Amino acid sequence: MDFNKIIDRYKDELIKSTQELLRIKSVAKGDAGEGKPFGEDVAKCLDVALKISEQLGFKTCNIDGYAGYAEYGEGEDYIGVLGHIDVVPEGDGWLYPPYGAEIHDNRIYARGAIDDKGPTIAALYGLKAIKESGVKLSKKVRIIFGTNEENGSTEIEYYLSKEKPPVAGFTPDADFPIIHAEKGITMFNVVKNLNIKPKEDITIKYIKGGHRPNMVPDYCETMVISKNPYDIEHSAMEFAKEKGYEFKTEVKDNSVVIKSYGVSAHGSTPELGKNAVMQLLSFLGTLNLGECDIANFINFFNKYVGFEIDGKSFGVYLEDKASGKLSFNVGVIEMDEDKVSMALNLRYPVTYKYEDMMNPFNERISEIGLKIENMIHQKPLYYPEDHSLIKTLQKVYTEQTGQRATLLAIGGGTYAKEMPNIVAFGPIFPGKPNLCHQVNEYIEIDDLILSAKIYAHAIYELAK
């Protein structure tokens, strides 16, 4: 096929179309009326993406502002390429205007350059090359423009209420070569009302720390009320010195505030962080609080979690060859005199079921009467190595790059989980930095063009 030559011919147009989309600040806002469920700017960006698609000769459809698509070919079934055109806010500290789409050192700098406008336009031009070549396909192809990936992907639920899913396809919203396994993800709170109070001579007034369940907390603090606050302060600092933790303290009247500092990391890779909450609980477990609910809670988590990140002591350890070990992250704690709540993020291997983890989890927490609240669950995504979709994408990647198409398994979740029969395929090449959501986000023009070539051949192989 001459797809690559056609893409080279359209290189300048591909770059200009990418820049046109990047210059729109498509950060989701509130509903701006009919056809604009995520605000004016996202709606404008979708309109521009569909206008570009029409100019390239594709049939287009706007699904009530929730999503849109460019379509080519005939047939009942279709191959889907799922991209998104919404972006996260730009943040501060950019070298170049974050919505300028300026080219420097053969890179296009802008929010959304790599996540996900650049690769989505690359896939669109890949389909243009197929159209231009005149080859026949046995299935239709849709480049789907999502609009809410950065805020929960609610647009895909709406899309699937109106349209059937693709029979196969990919999302250019992660890493090359291919992500074939994504762990099951849960985020939830374990909660206990504190009815039995500590004895009067020493009381924990509050504990608070962490930002989100899916982040290793880098800070946590507590206030302890005591007749001897300086003794508590001395014990805390000695404990921290012995364990290699960073604590700071403030004594005022009969109270001492103890501040624990850790290292943040993503909840899918807790081994890369230092958990400030568990550092503090490990110290509080040394205090003589007597028989009370908060002491039982602290001792329970010190005994069954501590600094373990695989759930072994908790009784929920799982592991498989495809995706490795379960991960267990303590993300947030909020405690006052009446209630304690801890937010957890557990991710389980792809060949297991939710119940394989949660049945033993529920059995364990029944020991001290913890309740689960606000459960969020995302099932695993898994395509075996011999699946036809995986084999096809591996073949294309190897032919177009000359590199071996190794399969990736991750603890995080990608856009592929939102739509059936889709896997994550690019656009970040091995060894390249992951600039998604980062200041000075860019896409290398050479990578943009190579992605378009890979996507053209992948679409053709799936739809021929």
For residues 176 and 115, state if they share a domain: yes
DSSP assignment, residue 84? E
For residues 443 and 347, state if they share a domain: no
For residues 108 and 211, state if they share a domain: no
pLDDT digits (tens, 9 = 90+) for 398-454: 999 999 999 999 988 899 999 999 999 999 999 999 998 889 999 999 999 999 999
pLDDT digits (tens, 9 = 90+) for 392-403: 999 999 999 999
pLDDT tier for residue 290 given thresholds of 50, 70 and 90: confident
Angle at which helices 388-401 and 445-463 pack, to 10 degrees? Answer: 140
In this structure, the strands spanning 67-72 and 427-428 are unpaired
Give the CA angle between residues 304, 308, 309 to the nearest 5°. 120
Q: Which of 331, 353, 379, 347 is nearest to 190 (CA)?
A: 331
For residues 210 and 319, state if they share a domain: yes
pLDDT digits (tens, 9 = 90+) for 129-163: 999 999 999 999 999 999 999 988 999 999 999 99
What is the number of alpha carbons within 13 Å of residue 141 lying toward its C-beta?
Answer: 30
Domain that holds residue 337: 184-378
Non-local CB neighbours of 97 within 8 Å, separated by 6+ positions? none
What is the number of alpha carbons within 13 Å of residue 125 lying toward its C-beta?
Answer: 28
User: Residue 81 burial (CB < 10 Å; 0-12/13-18/19+)?
Assistant: buried
For residues 372 and 390, state if they share a domain: no
Does position 200 have pLDDT exceeding 80, yes or no? no
Non-local CB neighbours of 244 within 8 Å, separated by 6+ positions? none
For residues 368 and 438, state if they share a domain: no
Given 41, 116, 149, 447, which residue is catalytic? Answer: 149
Known catalytic membership, residue 293: no
For position 145, what pLDDT does the model report? 98
pTM recorded for the entire structure: 0.87
- Amino acid at site 418: E
For residues 42 and 170, state if they share a domain: yes
Given 86, 132, 150, 218, which residue is catalytic? Answer: 86
In this structure, the strands spanning 202-209 and 327-335 are antiparallel
pLDDT digits (tens, 9 = 90+) for 312-371: 999 999 999 999 999 999 999 999 989 999 999 999 999 999 999 999 999 999 999 999
CA distance 7 to 453: 7
Domain end call among 378, 407, 437: 378
For residues 108 and 189, state if they share a domain: no
pLDDT tier for residue 192 given thresholds of 50, 70 and 90: very high
For residues 281 and 218, state if they share a domain: yes
Q: For the chain, what is the mean pLDDT?
A: 95
CA distance 378 to 414: 11
Secondary structure class of 83 (helix, strand, coil): strand
Known catalytic membership, residue 149: yes
Domain end call among 343, 378, 413: 378
For position 1, what pLDDT does the model report? 67
CA distance 406 to 390: 10
For residues 192 and 313, state if they share a domain: yes
Q: What is the CATH number of the domain that holds 114?
A: 3.40.630.10
Average pLDDT over residues 240-268: 94
Structure tokens at 282: 């490990």
For residues 226 and 352, state if they share a domain: yes
Q: What is the CATH number of the domain that holds 259?
A: 3.30.70.360
- Number of compact structural domains in the chain: 2
For residues 125 and 44, state if they share a domain: yes
Domain end call among 348, 378, 408: 378
Non-local CB neighbours of 14 within 8 Å, separated by 6+ positions? 7, 121, 122, 125, 448, 449, 452
For position 219, what pLDDT does the model report? 96
Containing H/E element for 158?
A: helix 154-162
